[in-house]
Structure 1
Amino acid sequence: MAKYLQKRRRVWYAVLEIPRSLRPHFGGKARLVRSLQTESLTEAERLVLGVVSTWKAIFEAKRNGVATKDAITALQAQAEELQLQGWNAYDIKHRQAEIAELFEDDDLRNAVGVVHGDYIQLDQYIDDYIAMTEGTAKTKDMKAADLRRFAKKFSYADEAPRLQVMDWVDHELMAEQKLSAATCRRIISACRGYWAYLERHHKLDTPQPFDKVVPSAPRKKTKEDVRKRRKHFGKGDYQKLLDGSQRRSEVLSALIQLGAYTGARIEELCSLKLEHLTDDRFKIEDAKTSAGIREIPIHSHIKTLVAQLKKDSTDAYLLSGLTFNKYNDRSNAVGKQFGRLKADLGYGPDFVFHSFRKGVATQLETAGVAENVTARILGHEFRTITYGLYSGGVSFDVLAKALGRVDWRWQWVVGA
């Protein structure tokens, strides 16, 4: 203990040699010296423990390259150690703040503030927040990435006033990174949810800075908006894509036919198990929304295909042999195959697999099918009070008759 203590004019001081490799971080100083403000050796021996352990913790952070996160970890561990030795919170904070000032290091000053609750480091609780949110693994990963993007720009809550957040959105996200307003609204929505979590669970009392920081969506669609809007496939598109797929992959060909004659989402079709099929219907159990859990009649034009797929399946799925990605999604690889196919055939980004779903809706509307029936087939929310809230749904026969109006075959006119 004596090597850490030095008496000057009856007052005891804490003294610690700075490792030679770290001296450039401290202006070339050879040692750190701090008054313990006591003439009692017993009291000095008690106080010097906290000072020296803090200094050593900071040395370790400096060796690893000072970062606020490293300093927080070091100071938090040291604060807990001092608490076990009987130090009160005020004395621990005061001592650590003194040391931060001695080092003249902003990272240490910030770390002391975080450890003692003066302000919140924005990346500190992201993992905890994501763990308690609902959604798929993919949705959670996207939300975490959005929050880390925000926390990389604004380290602390009090460094993110509304005007600076607005400037970040306008100049960095939209102008430099070319993100769309819709993507920026998603990022800000994630940040707003995280901020509310910090208010509720970590006593954040800084006003949230997100109101109107993203330009509002225009009320009137521009010509560019209309041009970019995803389009529906027509009968000619179906034949073109089906012919192209048959030269590439049997599974891709089957997927296109199933999509065209069910209007189902690609994820719904790829996750469809044999146990969810009967002779006349698909039972969609793995859907995007509660409205998506539904029964779809098996169209007469794909009955033979479905029977063959069931017979050939080796893994209990209707579309056999697909692989899972890290999000437990079987549609990823075959979806990319479809993307390459449609691009090779000259289709742009406004045409996607979902365009079959839009094509089914278009055919049903053209055939005069009631909107509530189409909504039941496609698995859309139906928000009217009478049908959406009170109705138990239409009969399966009505659904089958309506879906039977869908026909992707060319209609040749005799004598034309």
Structure 2
Amino acid sequence: MAIPEAARHEFKRRTAIVESLETGDIRVAMERRDARERTALDLFKAIKAGEAVTPEQIDATSRGAIVREAIKTLQDAGDTDALHDAVSAAEDERDHYRGKERKLFDAAVSGKVPVDQHLEAYLKEAKLADKTTAEWRGLVKRFARWCAEKALRLADIDRKNAGRYVSEEIAEMHPKTAKKHLSAVRGYWDYLARRGLVDTEQSGNPWDRQLQPQRRKKGSAEATQGERPFTPKELNAVLYGEQLDSGDREAGQFDHQLQDAALIGALSGMRLEEIVTLRVGQCAGGWFDIRDAKTQAGVRRVPIHSGLTKLVGSRTKDKKPGDWLFHELANERDAAAVTTKRFTRYRVACGVDDKRDGRRRSLVNFHSFRRWFVSQAEQAGIPETTVAAVVGHVEGRKSITFGVYSGGPSDEQKVACVKAVKLPPPGSAISTARQGIEALAPQLEFQAATVARPKPEQ
């Protein structure tokens, strides 16, 4: 690939980059070519813009890793003549480097680079959500620390060592946690393979099929029980703070905020992160306008339920369109994560929990409002495609007919869907019992006084 004149000073005045793609597979070769071309173009652009470019960015470590793989491939093939030429070329290339660059090149050729050497480059290219980026960085870093303790470098990670890590660190995790952890390191390894920084052509990705498939016991209701909607009694408890015990929480300072978010969740089916990041301008004209969602199907307009009119009016009063509906969360780095933790403590304080053995978290959580909304709409006879459009699910529109040809449910159908969802009467169940006790209080006090009164002397 040709190096632009304006960038050649960073490449020892070389006019072109010539690299072996180290594969005979045309598909793999094209993927590697395209990936390296994108990286090089980004680098040229940064140099032209006058940005600081480190030697590591240019090629010391990457070139060393490529040379190592080329030499290894020729050794495995037994091609002594080509191997001799490759070693000579590597020595010539080494002479181009000085100081820190030479050390980086030597470390890469010898396979002594740490496991997370290319992690930031991978995360930058992966373009994951901020939360996922932070999670995956932490998971790969955790693996890198384990490798450092075992004196393992990037070149040492084969299927056997990957298996050791899975057995020692991942296998005992909850299945969902283990799957997330494995996805992070496997995704990183796929990137390394595309860049030619590790060789997976012969043995494949060392992280593939490392977890034992989870098999449920046939006919076990406990094994098939998943996270569920709230019951009417539970819904009243969390919406109105019934039987609320402050416990060791923040003395109830977030209760009103959490109850507002809960009510919106129950009467809209919206996700927590959609609710707590709403701006005032997205709550106008009788609709919630969701512009940034978890999936493309999540970008949608949701009718504002009549039961939310007062709440929305109160929270939008005297605010600008760009202000947060939940202004209390405007300065939080991750409003959804903060609210999730607060709601969990609040929910438990309300006496609503459903922990099961072997389950990582309770079967009821904030998402149970969304499940409750969907259940209510379904029981009211609302078509699945309409419910899916309101809550932002793609599942209800997967067929060719609905997914390609249909323009989707009308606004009137969406409004009808939301109207069909009705809350259980406030105070039913728990409140009724409490009111009954309060009504009996005078009688109980009278009876207690009678029992306590001493008998007259005979």
* 1:266–1:354 contact (8 Å) kept in structure 2: yes
Partner letter of residue 318 of structure 1?
L
Superposed displacement of residue 380, structure 1 = 0.5
Whole-angstrom distance in 1 between the partners of 2:169 and 2:339: 35
Paired residue for 1:361, among 374, 383, 402?
374
Maintained 8 Å contact 2:265/2:369: yes
1:189–1:112: structure 2 CA closer, same or farther, 3 Å change rule? same
Deviations 1:40-80 (A, max 9, x none): xxxxxxxxxxxxxxxxxxxxxxxxxxxxxxxx9xxx79x99
Q: How does 1:257-336 map to 2 (within 5 A)?
A: 257-311=263-317, 313=319, 316-326=323-333, 329-336=334-341
- 2:189 maps to 1:192: no
- Determine the structure 1 residue equivalent to 2:198: 204
Render the CA deviation track for 1:83-130: whole Å, top value 9, x for unaligned. xxxx98527979x9xxxxxxxxxxxxx977533365753211111111
Aligned CA distance change for structure 1 residues 153 and 224 (closer, same or farther; 3 Å):
farther
Q: Name the structure 2 match of 1:410.
A: 425
Cα displacement (A) at 1:341: 1.1
Number of the residue aligned with 2:211 = 214
Distance 1:217 1:312, change over 3 A: farther
Aligned residues: 312
Bigger shift: residues 166-175 or 357-366: 166-175
Q: Secondary structure at the match of 1:321?
A: helix
Matches within 5 A, 1:215-230: 215-218=212-215, 222-227=220-225, 229-230=226-227
**Is the CA contact 2:171–2:211 (under 8 Å) kept in the aligned structure 1?**
no
> CA 1:337–1:189 in 2, change beyond 3 Å: closer, same or farther?
closer
Letter in 2 for 1:303: T
Q: Looking at CA atoms only, which structure, 1 or 2, has the larger radius of gyration?
A: 1
Distance 1:304 1:93, change over 3 A: closer
1:142, distance to aligned residue in structure 2 (A): 0.8
Is the Cα–Cα contact under 8 Å of residues 378 and 384 in structure 2 kept in the other structure? yes
Q: Is the 8 A contact 1:325 1:332 kept in 2?
A: no
CA distance in 1, matches of 2:324, 2:342: 19
Q: Any runs of at least 4 consecutive aligned residues in structure 1 with deviations exceeding 4 A, and if so which?
A: 91-94, 110-113, 117-120, 219-224, 245-248, 312-315
| Aligned partner letter, 2:240 | D
Hey, what does 2:167 align to over in structure 1? 170
2: CA distance, partners of 1:113 / 1:218: 47
Higher RCO, Cα 8 Å, sep 6+:
2
Letter in 2 for 1:156: R
CA contact (8 A) 1:309 1:318 kept: yes
Counterpart amino acid of residue 407 in structure 2:
G
Shift of 1:398: 0.5
Q: How far off is 1:300 after superposition?
A: 1.3
Give the Cα–Cα distance (whole angstroms) in 1 for the partners of residues 153 and 209 of structure 2: 21
1:261–1:360: 8 Å Cα contact kept in structure 2?
A: yes
Q: After TM superposition, give the deviation of residue 219 of structure 1 in Å.
A: 6.1
Q: Normalized against structure 2, the TM-score is what?
A: 0.61
Q: Cα distance, 1:132 vs. partner?
A: 1.2
Partner Cα separation in structure 2 for residue 312 and residue 251 of structure 1: 18
Q: Partners in 1 of 2:327 and 2:142 — Cα distance?
A: 39
Superposition pairs of residues 87-236 of structure 1, within 5 angstroms: 89-90=90-91, 114-116=107-109, 118=111, 121-154=114-147, 155-175=152-172, 179-206=173-200, 207=203, 208-218=205-215, 222-227=220-225, 229-236=226-233
Q: TM-score, normalised by structure 1?
A: 0.67
Local SS of the residue matching 2:301: strand
* CA contact 2:377–2:387 (8 Å) conserved in 1: yes
CA 191–387 in structure 1, closer or farther in 2 if over 3 Å, else same: same
Q: Could you give the per-residue CA deviations for residues 246-292 of structure 1, whole angstroms, max 9, x where no partner exists?
A: 97533222111111100101110111111112232111112111100
Q: Which residue of 2 aligns with 1:346?
A: 351
Contact 1:93–1:116, Cα closer than 8 Å, also in 2: no
Instruction: Give aligned-pair identity as a percent.
Output: 28
Q: Is structure 2 residue 391 aligned with structure 1 residue 378?
A: yes
For the 8 Å contact 1:284–1:294, the answer to whether it is kept is: yes
Q: Write the letter of the residue equivalent to 2:400.
A: I
Q: Alpha-carbon deviations, 1:365-389, whole Å to 9, x = none?
A: 1112111111011100131111123
- Asked if structure 1 preserves the Cα contact closer than 8 Å seen for 2:217 and 2:223, the reply is no
CA distance in 2, matches of 1:251, 1:118: 54
Aligned pair partner of 1:400 in 405, 415, 430 = 415
Residues of 1 paired with 2:104 and 2:325: CA distance? 56
Q: Partner amino acid for 1:357?
A: R
Q: 1:295 is matched by which residue type in structure 2?
A: R
- 1:114·1:121 contact (CA, 8 Å) conserved in 2? no
Q: CA RMSD in A?
A: 3.3
Q: CA, structure 1 residues 139+277, in 2 after alignment: closer, same or farther (shift >3 Å)?
A: same
Q: Distance in 1 between matches of 2:93 and 2:337?
A: 53
Deviates more, 1:157-166 or 1:361-370: 157-166
Cα distance in 2 for partners of 1:194, 1:252 equals 38
Q: Is the 8 A contact 2:279 2:325 kept in 1?
A: yes
Judge conservation of contact 1:284–1:292 (CA < 8 Å) in 2: yes
C-alpha contact 1:313 1:319 (8 A) present in aligned 2: no
- Aligned residue identity for 1:193: G
Q: Which amino acid aligns with 1:171?
A: E
CA apart distance, 1:299 = 0.9
Any stretches of 5+ residues in structure 1 without a counterpart? 1-71, 81-86, 97-109
Cα distance in 2 between the residues matched to 1:123 and 1:410: 56
Q: Is the CA contact (8 Å cut-off) linking 2:288 and 2:304 kept in structure 1?
A: yes
